[in-house]
Structure 1
């Protein structure tokens, strides 16, 4: 992403591949935004895009972070500090889906948190399920690492056809000209699920936004419908159903 730009667009392909006990694979097109959270006024100056109000595309501060409409920076800095990252925080970028015609759903949003010198310190993985619940997995970044990696025990319910006795392995390439996100979900020593997103940088312009809407006009609704459609197919194939547990008491893992 151009460091002078307040936002960028990443047309992408999302892929899910389940290995067992019911095997399936599907992929679909999406587009994500990468926004500088300190420059939301500039992002909202695009005639097709608004912050905290209706438009063809929009971002609402209550959809992410503290989810109370407050500024994102204070929330992110507090989360990092309370989890052992005490460095002065510089640029923070949020990678997420926008709302489209007022409707939004983000299964996974990523916060790229840099220090004052521009070095990537941590990635906050914000996971949301279809029940309106959310949880954050925090990945500190090793010095000079080209890829952000981390292993986290699964503590948050996402799918009724995936159990909670699992762990995630994250592999995240910080967005530049491309975005690459890979997540492996293991049950014991067996790889149960692979999820990925790969996309190419496009400038945040009216033309690019219009092309994305023309190609995927109701993308966020499509994502929600696909989640339920795939769940139905797994159920019809005899997939084991897991009841939803209570969400974790801690908001960060």
Structure 2
């Protein structure tokens, strides 16, 4: 596994009252944590300011400490370290001009043979809070492209959905195409469909530049679009849910 650029799109479709759907181009980085330094280029700084930057303080413990020991500790706490003795890869958006907001980043935890065993979804909301959903099969077997992993929703993200129900995760890799499927269910009914569809490219300065020209706002655009879509739902008079206290546990 080597550092890669994942270029594609994010798709959201609301199925609850006042249906709403949108699709935007975006790109993320695919960063094997044991090879993080190799991702650096004239356009991408690792712990340095560039057009794009990646800093440890944006993830994990958020204190700038190394990320691999942090995720290894999480896996050990939850009895998952024996099946995740291979590479850990972080899929996330970099900082653009020093600014970043990642609604969700994914940590892919593999065994020595390269099989995907555990995924940690690192979720952030616009209130500056964060929560981690750790998903794996009960018997710790390899996660396949047809598998669905379920996590109970415990963290406030959108004021237009309550903190209840469950998320259904799927991670589908076919060749150089990676699709992350995230569906939200409440009361047994699908309320929201999200797809992050990406195609792998070498993580070169040239590919980064081309991706930026296609998505010039990237992380800045994410915040703008969140607020724009929220305004559309307000106009449609969708029910508004106040933010509860964040869960005490950082990882569920």
d(CA) in 2 for partners of 1:225, 1:170: 26
d(CA) in 2 for partners of 1:183, 1:121: 18
Show the 5 A alignment for 1:138-153: 138-141=134-137, 142-147=140-145, 148-153=147-152
Q: Which residue pairs with 1:33 in the alignment? A: 29
Residue 162 of structure 1: SS of its match in structure 2? coil
* Contact 1:139-1:149 within 8 A present in 2 as well: no
Matched, 1:71 2:70: no
Show the 5 A alignment for 1:89-238: 89-141=85-137, 142-147=140-145, 148-174=147-173, 177-238=176-237
Matched, 1:246 2:245: yes
d(CA) in 2 for partners of 1:158, 1:144: 29
**How far off is 1:176 after superposition?**
5.0
d(CA) in 1 for partners of 2:11, 2:86: 32
Matched, 1:43 2:42: no
Number of corresponding residues:
248
Instruction: State which drifts further: 20-29 or 138-147.
Output: 138-147
Show the 5 A alignment for 1:1-16: 3=1, 5=2, 7-16=3-12
* Contact 2:28-2:94 within 8 A present in 1 as well: yes
**How far off is 1:175 after superposition?**
7.6
Instruction: State which drifts further: 198-207 or 87-96.
Output: 87-96
Q: TM-score, normalised by structure 2?
A: 0.94
Structure 1, unmatched stretches of 5+, are none
d(CA) in 2 for partners of 1:95, 1:117: 20
Equivalent residue for 2:47, pick from 41, 46, 52? 52
**Structure 1 residues 175 and 111: CA distance shift in structure 2, 3 A:** farther
**How far off is 1:116 after superposition?**
2.9
* Contact 2:144-2:171 within 8 A present in 1 as well: no
Give the superposed CA RMSD: 1.4
Q: TM-score, normalised by structure 1?
A: 0.94
